[in-house]
Amino acid sequence: MQQTKSRYPTVTYLSAPEMIRLVRRLGVPACIAGVAERIEREFLRWNEFDKSARVACHSNVGTIELMPVADAEQYAFKYVNGHPANWRLGLPTVMAFGVLADVHTGAPRLLSELTLTTAIRTAAMSGVAARALARRNSRRMALIGNGAQSEFQALAFRDLVGVRELHLFDIDRAASDKLAANLCGQGMEVHIFDSTADAVRGVDIVTTVTADKANATILTPEMIEPGMHVNAVGGDCPGKTELARAVVEAATVFVEFEPQSRIEGEIQQMPADFEVTEFWRVLAGVVAGRSSEMEVTLFDSVGFALEDFAALGFMRDQAMALGIGERIELLPEADDPKDLYGLVGASVAA
């Protein structure tokens, strides 16, 4: 009997092992560069997207969020958590997966791991922002917080910005030692410091990637030097910040999606009328990234769904080109789409 082709679309599934395989095939630097290029492309289509702040469930130990975005063809969402104490349980602080779906039918097309991919896209976004906001000759960066995100940040700034010297600090010295070991042979001069103040002295860029869910003051005003670019990554939910309010007040501040950043970013400390600029406007040439060599710029990064849209698209395309990924039947297929009960109702006699 000849089998007819199913009208139901199969879903491409990129599991964690398959994503690791994909990233190893391409190399981390190539993945960061590819996602960065895709982020820039999508940000230049800013007004074509249906955007909203992420939907979050907060507890006293962490956050679980859904991050949706769509254009006229594709809908994407990411499920992601942030639980700073997970390391005590042997779990990552951040775990994520995501979906791409067809806007015209609602059918899912891609189901993918996003834990590794989120680290790549976060680093790519940092590099894209710094390339537009930092001084052009920036070669020295302090990296405060040396956990799971830090290697990706370092490589993004090396390749996208030109950073060649890294100053490291983490309250856990073992984390800094781990980062320094992983960066050995990567073409960067690495120094470990005993305090944030020592690490940031004399650098062009400061990246903060700390995990504690607290209103922390990782950077204080006396640490900020004229012309610095601050890339604040760790403050990404209500009640979680890294910068003293005076640091934010004194900087020219750029954000991803303002309605979300007002709730979750460093600017949650500021009044509602505090002036910020959405970063897409810089890429589009509507506003300048910095006005002088002495200006202090701040990218208040919280992570936005459009970045995940870009990362999912890049990883899907690369997986298809390399033949990586599985096809799974995520949807129940009925002969009559109006008779879903028919799939199960006759299985047990009355």
Instruction: For the chain, give percent helix, strand, coil, nearest 5.
Output: 35, 25, 40
Catalytic residue among 170, 236, 300, 308: 236
Burial of 275 (0-12, 13-18, 19+ CB in 10 A): exposed
Cβ–Cβ contacts within 10 Å for residue 102, how many? 13
Rounded Cα gap, residues 160 and 329, in angstroms? 39
State yes or no: is 236 an active-site residue: yes
Cβ–Cβ contacts within 10 Å for residue 60, how many? 6
Please give the structure tokens belonging to residue 50. Answer: 């249906």
Dihedral (C-alpha) 41, 46, 48, 52: value to the nearest 10 degrees?
130
Alpha helices in the chain (DSSP H): 16-26, 28-43, 115-133, 150-160, 173-182, 196-200, 245-250, 258-264, 280-283, 305-322
**Sign, Cα dihedral of 190, 195, 198, 201:** positive
Q: Mind telling me the catalytic residues?
A: 236
